[in-house]
Structures are given as C-alpha cells and as structure tokens.
Structure 1
Amino acid sequence: MGLFAYLRLVRAGYVLAREGAFSLTEGQGIKGPAATAIWFARLIERRAVRKTGRVERLSAALQKLGPTYVKLGQVLATRADVVGPLVAQDLANLQDKMPPFDAKLVPAILAEALGDKVNALTDISDPVAAASIAQVHSATLINEDGTKQKIAIKLLRPDVEMRFKKDLASLKAAAGLVELVDPRAKRLRPKDIVATLERSAILEMDLRMEAAAISELFENTKDDEGFEIPTVHWPQTARNVLTTSWMDGIPIREHDQLDAAGVDRKKVAKALMQHFLLHAIRDGYFHADMHPGNLFVDPKTGHVRAVDFGIMGRIGKQEQKFLAEILYGFIRRDYRHISQLHFDIGYVPKHQSVDDFAQSLRSIGEPLVGRPASEISMAKVLTQLLDNTALFEMETRTELVMLQKNMVLVEGVARTLDPELNIWTIAEPIVSKWVKRNVGPIGIAEEAKDTAIALYGAAKKVPLLVQRYEAMLEQAEKDRANPPFFMTSWFAVLVVALMIGVGAAAIKTLV
C-alpha cells in the first residue's frame, strides 16, 4: 500500500473520532491497547456530538468521509454478525444523499457516452436527486416516430471511480492493519468486508448492470397488479448513463399527501409487504434497498412504484425454499419442521440435535402467540433466527442477511403506513401458495424435470469422457513402447555408475 493510502486512513480515523463514532464501543468489553487507543481517540470528540444519539454519530462520520464510506456503512448493515444487530439496524437507515455535481458538465458527459443518440434527449432538468455515486435528472425523449415522453437520466459522478479506488486502497490498508495488530480480528474477516464493498462498487459504477437488473425485475413483475417499476431505454444507456421511463408518484413517506389524495394507506402497506415476499420467495430476486426515498405511490391507482436498482438481492432455490417454509412453519407453529429443514438443507451440522434446535425456535415463536398485531415483527423473527443459529454452529449466510436487512426496511415502511399491520396474515397467502405448489405434485414434477435435465447433461458428457480415457490409454501404450530418454535401462545404468564413481571419489578424499 502507498503512503497516501495510510495518510487517507489517518484522516478517516480523525473524522470518525471527531464525530464520536468510537462511542459505539461503549460497553463492548474492549480491553488492553485497543481500549487505550479508543480512550485517546475520544479525547478529540466534539462536545456537540455527545448530545446526539449513537446512530447520528456514526452516520454523520460516514457521510462526512464521502461516498465510499457511505457504501461501507450500507455493506456493514448487512453484516450483523460483525457489527452487532443494533448497529446493523441503525446503518440500515443510512440514506445516500450528497450535493449534486456541476450541471454544466452534464451535456459533455451525455455526448461522450451516447454519441449521436444524445440528440433524442431534450429539456434536461437540474438534478432532482443526488447520491454518492450518481445523480438523477428528468428530461424529454423524442422517439423515432416523433412522439415525446418524460424520462429519467441517471449519471455517474465524473470523479467517482478515482475516489473509490483511493478510498478502497485505504480501507484495504486498514483491514490488513487490524488483522496484524489483533489476529483475533480475523474472525470478523475485515478483508472480506472490503472485498464485498469493492465488488458492490464495481457493479454500481457500471449503470448497464443496473439497467439489466431493471430489465430482469420488470420481466418477473410485469403481470403483478399493484407494483410498478420503470422500463429501460437501451439506446440512451451506457456505462455511465442510465435512461428509464419516468415514475410519477407521491413519496411513500408523505402520509399527509397520501391521505389528501384519498389513498388507502393500509392497502398500500399490505401490497408493499406482499410484493416483497413474492419477489423473494417466487423469483429469488428482489429490490434490496427499499428505503422510503426509493418508494412512491401512484395517487390514481394506489400502486407502489419503486426506483433505484443499484442494490439487488438474489437467493437460490434452496434459500427460497428455506424462507417460505420457515415463515410457513412459524405461521403453523410447527417448530420441529423448521428445525428439520435446517438440517435437511445443510445449514446446521448433523451432529447437532434436531430437537434442541426446535426448542430454540419455539423460544422465538411462542412469545408471539396472542400478542397484538402491532407487536409482531417478521423481520425481528428472522433476526432472532439468524442469531440463534450461531449457537448451533450454523455459518453466516450472507444472502439471508441481505434478505433480513431489506425485510427490516420494508416492514418499517409498511408499519409507518399501517401501525396495526398484521404481518403473518399478510404473509400467509403468499407463503402457503408457494409451499403447496412446490411441495405438491407440480413441485415434485418440476423437481423431477430438473433432475432429468441434470442427468441428461451428465449423460451427454459420457462420450467425451470415454474419448479422453481412450486417449489416455493410447498415450500410455505409446509411452510404454517408446519410453522417454531418462526411463531407458541403459540410461539408468549410466546414472548408477556415475553415483558409484562420485561416492568412491568422496571416500578416497576422506581417507
């Protein structure tokens, strides 16, 4: 790592200390040199930040350090196993807002990225939203038939890639130092966290990847009533430019405006939760950044409209089954079934006890029985479940943590719309339908079909394997008939004679 990486790291440490971020270590049982270092760091803590809460201190520090550190906070929000559930939940609310870059740069950026396709864009507005990586403008698109439509243009910040490279170098240096100073910190895998941030940043800084995400999610949800996302205009999309249809609507956090428009907030809350579960359980692909700033409501139809698809979540069929049957098991209070599922999928080692794990699940589910709907949280259940599995040697499943993090966001938004939201009643039809379909005859038939396809693929490889085996046998026969020079018998005799001669000379010298 270069000297400048460490200097930037020192600056980051100063800002974190100044903004009071090290207050998060209170009550964590830190001792020795680390505790002494934290004590000195807190000497420069601003008095003003002592009046604010823990969340504001960390959020303020990350915002002040810039886009890379904001993204780091968002990554850590998915790693409750590293930062703890309280800090992870706090960071889940970290929203990415930054001042826009100079609007005078926009025409040149568009012209360079789109070539002559830029001529179809007119009436480009000032920025309507700005984040750490990109900002959004509204504009008018002139179609080939002469018709016009309002569109949204997302532009990468001109200097964002260079900024990320420099900051990532500093974070890599920090991760290395942490592991060097305290080998026990390897358990938290700081280098892996930085690597996750790096992968996330690389994907987010190619807006064609976000365009592909929108396209895939649109195909999955185009027939779903009540949930809408924009469509991509590919000719006006490039690595640093994303053009989509414009999404009008009332921000989902503006309750007074929703009420004034006659929108049924309870219905919107129900739709939001059900669509999220549908995308996760049915498709295994979901919007993973559903904070209030990315959600709107169409005042005419009451449909939920989502934007900003830079962060997406994907889970495989095994995780889809896990999520559906876990929720179904809690709804039915069938804790042994949930426990057995963990073992069948391989999440919990076989040497653990199915019955003991079922008992731990019961400790989560039974306190919910008879409680008011407003006190029952599906996200909290999933969080407790992931916490409990640590006692039974279940490894952290990052894909499930991402799911849990977004469930916290979605459930939080839905609760603000309808404080009496009954999570289990809303989830039951989605979960039951999936379980009955996939465990029933249709699911069995589809599983058999997948197995048959896999076997057919393996069978197709058999002739090639046979050919390779025959070629190996043929080569072995050739080698046996014409051995290499060093394998001939007279060569071996020459080597032995040489060794005897060398040994005799050595003995003579010693005598």
Structure 2
Amino acid sequence: MKYSRLYNIITIFKAYQLGELLPKHNLSSKFKFALALMFWVRKKAKNNDIGERLRLALQELGPVWVKFGQMLSTRRDLLPDNVAVQLAKLQDQVPPFEGELAKHIIEKALDAPIEHYFDDFNLTPLASASIAQVHTATLKETAAQVVIKVLRPDIMPIIQADIELMYWFAKQVEKNVPNGKRLRAGEVVKDYETTILKELNLQQEAENTRRLRDNFINSDMLYIPYVYRELCRKNVMVEERIAGIPIGDTAQLVAKNVNVKLLAERGVKVFFTQVFRDNFFHADMHPGNIFIDATDPVNPRYIGIDCAIMGELSLEDQRFLAQNFIAFFNRDYQKIAELYISSNWVDEDTDRFALEAAMREVCEPIFAKPLGEISFAQVLFNLFKVARQFNMVIQPQLVLLEKTLFYIEGLGRQLYPQLDLWSTAKPFLESWYQEQMSVKHIAKQFMNTLPLWQEVLPALPAKIKQYEREHQHLNRHIAELTEQLKRSQQKQNQFCYLTIGLIVLGIAVSIIL
C-alpha cells in the first residue's frame, strides 16, 4: 500500500507538472532518476499558475493533503506569495460517508441506541470535512437542538501512511535539493503531524471548547457553543447547534444592516484578548469556523466553532511580543534588536547593530503607507523573517499565532476595508504591558503562588540546616584536600631542593678533582 500510494502521489505531481517547484540544476543523480521514472504518466492541460496547479494536485490527493496544504499556506517564509495565496483557497469539503455508518459509530461510542439520547437524528450530514462530519439531532432529555461531530472511520491508518510519505518527501528535499535544509521541510511536516493529530481527539476539542466558552461567557464580542461533555468521546462530540450568518456571506450581512465596522474592530479585540488576557487562542480561525450573530445588527458578535487547534504562549513570549509590537509602533529598532537578544530568541553573540539595521531596512518602508493599509500580520511576519536570518528558530506556537493573525486581519479587512488595526491594537498592548508591570499585578501573582509557599515554608528551616551541614562537610573536605595538596607540594619542594643540592655538590666535587 505504501509504495502504490507513493506511485499515485508522484503520478499526480507529474500530471500537474509540479517539478517546476524544484530547482532546474544541481539535483542529485539519484533524485533525477526517481523523477524520470514517472516520465510516461498522463498529462493535463498546463496552467501557467504553479500555485493553482499545486492546489488542484493537493485536492486530487485527498483530505489529508488538503489539510497539509492549508497549513503550508501559513508558512509564507517558505513559499512564493502566489503559491501561498492559492493554497489558502483550499477547501476541505469532501464527500460524506454513509449516515448509517455514522449512526453506528455514535451508538458504539455511547454504548446505547441513538434513540436513548437523541430524537430526530438526521442521517444526512449537515457538513462533511476531511477529518469528521456533522449530523443534527434533538437532545431527548431537554429538547435542545444539537450537532454531533463524528470522526471518519478508519481515518488514522490513512493519516499515518500519508504522514510517513510526507517525511520521506521532506528527507529527499533536504538531501537532494540545493540548500534543501534551509527549507526545513521536516519541520513543516512535524508541525502538520502535531496539528492533525490534535484534530483526531474530540474529547480534547470538547475541553478546549469549554475552556474558551468560559473565557468569554456573557461576552458581547464572542459566543462559543455549549458542549455536552458527558456525551463526548474520543471519536464523538455533542454540542449546541448555533444559528448564524457565515462570515464570508457579506451580502447577507449588508442586507441585515450589520455594523461591520464594529464587527471588524471586535475581531481584533477578540484576538488580542485571547492571546494576552487568557493566553489561550483559537488557532484555526478560517471562514468556515466563524459565524456572525446578527440578532442585534447594531451590536453583532462572533460565533466560533471547531476548537481542535488552540495556541498558548509562555508569559515570557507574551511580554516579548507586546514589547516588540510597542517598539515597532514607536519605530524603535534598537529596542527590537535588544529584545530578540535578551530574550534568547537569537544567539547572545548576535551582532546587535546588524540585527537593528536589518529590522530597520525591512520595517521602515511599511510606515510609508497610511496606517489603515498597514498589515499587522505582515509586520510580525517581517520581524520573524529577519530574525530567521540570524538563526532564530520559530516555535510551533508562534507559527500558530502568525497564522491566526493573518486570518483575523484578512477577515477584518474583508468586512471593513478601512479597518485600522493599529488604533485598536496599540492601546490594548500598552495597557496590558503596563498592567503586567503594576504593583497590583505583582501582588496578585504573589497571592496566586501563596499556596505553594505554604507548602514550602514549613520545610524550609530543615532544608536550610541540611544545606548548612552539607556545606560544612564540603568545606571540611575541601580543607583536607587543600592540606594534603600543601603537604604533597612541600614534599615535592624538598625533593627538588635535595636533587638540586646533589647536582651542585657533584659539580663542585668534579671541579675540585
């Protein structure tokens, strides 16, 4: 199966003439031979846009590769712009599997007939994607409208086989393509593997959904559906059915007189609130996962679903990003360079002046544009791109952050092209950073750690005495070694003096005789 799948993949790559993505020269002879083996495969009408051909090839390869293309579209540091734009258009809508099979999976997971928990179970899925599909039903106990998400049967072997092949392709690229290691193909596949495996655990998604809902309970900016965790299993999840307008349906939003300016600004606030206030952000905010509650068009809010992929940052990363953005707002490139070095995001022996000059060269032209036209996501991308040139390794959580910011900004500008992220982001970041440095926050942090100190403090005197005993024992041992060394040195000196004396005596005797 592995080799037949490999043959199928190479056939499709050749059919769409994706060899253009590889360098024209300096390939190893073995790699050239492997490509030549597929010389005779079928041809398709050639499209001049390599990005579009790559997108079509991934769609033909199937859902696992579609998800890979979606993730790859966020790595703009590795792809030409036209390729990244095309991959961002990938849709993972795939034909559904049989409703009866979905019903059987649910019954097996819940260990009960479907009628035990649900009425009006619809065998026709509401939506179908690469990893799972969704069916509607009514909760028997409360008559609440719910959706039941079901993982595709036997999806794991397919994913494992394709990921294994992706690693093989990555290894060949790094080994046989000039400067292949710079492309970090293995790193990209590893990020993808982590992401897609998270989507295969619906119990974890249910917990993520509950946590995000709690963070925005009673919020006028974001609504997260209620999850019935007692009915969730690793391959089945039951949650509240929501009613909203897809965010991409701008015509319906306009028809309902939705305040799109407020909506776009709230999208920015939701993002920064998740990242900096809660340190728990939805990292898969593509249009298919966002709806609009337009019940009150003057005061609209977002509805977020599909919380499988979430991001978290360390407090150090949060502070670094906040200071980084604030320094950029103030065009303080010296501060930016110092932050990268002091935070160990680049090597401590990095030339600060060279890093500062590189940051200035890339970022300064951005300020030539009106603030409303400046891409906030592009700023972050540019800063990371420069840092990569100075051997900075971007962590997976930062890649998620970068991707999410591109999504949020793109959706915000789609809703309201005049959106000025800066007027929203800068006050938020400055306020958050000042609050982090405030006496009140420090006192709060101390109170949060008080239970830990209550456990540690009773044992502290004994620990101190133990340390003193060990320290005294160590000092005695060092003193004994020092004394032995002195005695040994004295003996060596005495031997040297005796030897010199005998030599001198021998010389004197020889002269006299």
Q: TM-score range by the shorter chain?
A: 0.7 to 0.9
Which among 57, 61, 72 is matched to residue 61 of structure 1?
57
Structure 1 residues 24, 183: CA separation in 2 closer, same or farther (over 3 Å shift)? closer
**2:117 is aligned with 1:120:** yes
Which among 245, 261, 267 is matched to residue 256 of structure 2?
261
After superposing the two structures, state which structure 1 stretch, 65-74 or 374-383, moved more. Answer: 65-74
> Match of 2:45, SS?
helix
**2:130 is aligned with 1:135:** no
| 1:18 CA displacement | 1.3
Residue 145 of structure 2 aligns to which amino acid in structure 1?
A: K
Which among 11, 15, 18 is matched to residue 18 of structure 1?
15
**2:167 is aligned with 1:169:** no
Who is 1:483 aligned against?
Answer: none
Residue 213 of structure 1 aligns to which amino acid in structure 2?
A: N
Structure (1 or 2) with the larger CA radius of gyration: 2
**2:265 is aligned with 1:270:** yes
Who is 1:500 aligned against?
Answer: none
Q: Do the aligned partners of 1:6 and 1:173 also contact (CA within 8 Å) in 2?
A: no
After superposing the two structures, state which structure 1 stretch, 40-49 or 5-14, moved more. Answer: 40-49
Listed as ranges, the matches of 1:9-408 within 5 Å are 9-25=6-22, 31=27, 33=29, 46-51=43-48, 53-83=49-79, 87-88=83-84, 90-116=86-112, 118=114, 119-125=116-122, 126-143=124-141, 147-178=142-173, 181=176, 185-301=180-296, 302-369=300-367, 371-408=369-406
Residue 209 of structure 1 aligns to which amino acid in structure 2?
A: Q
**Deviations, residues 123-179 of structure 1 (Å, cap 9, x unaligned):** 123212111110112211123xxx311111111111212221332333344345455
Tell which has more relative contact order, 1 or 2 (C-alpha 8 A, sep 6+): 1
Q: Do the aligned partners of 1:20 and 1:42 also contact (CA within 8 Å) in 2?
A: no
| 1:458 CA displacement | 7.4
| 1:25 CA displacement | 3.6
Runs of 5+ in structure 1 lacking a partner?
472-511
> TM-score w.r.t. structure 2 length?
0.81
Runs of 5+ in structure 2 lacking a partner?
471-513
Counterpart CA distance in 2 for 1:420 and 1:46 is 45
After superposing the two structures, state which structure 1 stretch, 391-400 or 297-306, moved more. Answer: 391-400
Q: Do the aligned partners of 1:171 and 1:194 also contact (CA within 8 Å) in 2?
A: yes
After superposing the two structures, state which structure 1 stretch, 39-48 or 283-292, moved more. Answer: 39-48
| 1:443 CA displacement | 4.0
> Match of 2:47, SS?
helix
Q: Do the aligned partners of 1:19 and 1:45 also contact (CA within 8 Å) in 2?
A: no
Q: Do the aligned partners of 2:15 and 2:44 also contact (CA within 8 Å) in 1?
A: no
Q: Do the aligned partners of 1:117 and 1:236 also contact (CA within 8 Å) in 2?
A: no
> Match of 1:148, SS?
coil
Residue 360 of structure 1 aligns to which amino acid in structure 2?
A: A
Structure 1 residues 412, 5: CA separation in 2 closer, same or farther (over 3 Å shift)? same
Counterpart CA distance in 2 for 1:42 and 1:377 is 43
Counterpart CA distance in 2 for 1:395 and 1:55 is 26
Counterpart CA distance in 2 for 1:322 and 1:442 is 21
Q: Do the aligned partners of 1:6 and 1:170 also contact (CA within 8 Å) in 2?
A: no
Which among 3, 7, 19 is matched to residue 4 of structure 2?
7
| 1:98 CA displacement | 0.8
Q: Do the aligned partners of 2:55 and 2:87 also contact (CA within 8 Å) in 1?
A: yes
Structure 1 residues 168, 448: CA separation in 2 closer, same or farther (over 3 Å shift)? same
> Match of 1:55, SS?
helix
After superposing the two structures, state which structure 1 stretch, 169-178 or 300-309, moved more. Answer: 169-178
**Deviations, residues 328-384 of structure 1 (Å, cap 9, x unaligned):** 222222332222222221112222233432333333443233522442100111111
**Deviations, residues 222-263 of structure 1 (Å, cap 9, x unaligned):** 253211111110122111111111121111111110011110
> Match of 2:418, SS?
coil
> Match of 2:133, SS?
strand
> Match of 1:50, SS?
coil
Counterpart CA distance in 2 for 1:194 and 1:458 is 43
> Match of 1:304, SS?
strand
Who is 1:503 aligned against?
Answer: none
After superposing the two structures, state which structure 1 stretch, 60-69 or 376-385, moved more. Answer: 60-69
Counterpart CA distance in 2 for 1:340 and 1:177 is 38
Residue 369 of structure 1 aligns to which amino acid in structure 2?
A: F
| 1:417 CA displacement | 0.8
Counterpart CA distance in 2 for 1:465 and 1:13 is 66
| 1:72 CA displacement | 2.3
Counterpart CA distance in 1 for 2:467 and 2:261 is 64
Counterpart CA distance in 1 for 2:178 and 2:362 is 34
Counterpart CA distance in 1 for 2:46 and 2:468 is 71
Q: Do the aligned partners of 2:133 and 2:149 also contact (CA within 8 Å) in 1?
A: yes
Counterpart CA distance in 2 for 1:216 and 1:295 is 18
**Deviations, residues 93-128 of structure 1 (Å, cap 9, x unaligned):** 433211111112122111111123842212123212
> Match of 1:124, SS?
coil
How many residues in Structure 1 have an aligned counterpart in Structure 2? 465
Who is 1:412 aligned against?
Answer: 410
Structure 1 residues 107, 401: CA separation in 2 closer, same or farther (over 3 Å shift)? closer
Which among 396, 412, 429 is matched to residue 427 of structure 2?
429
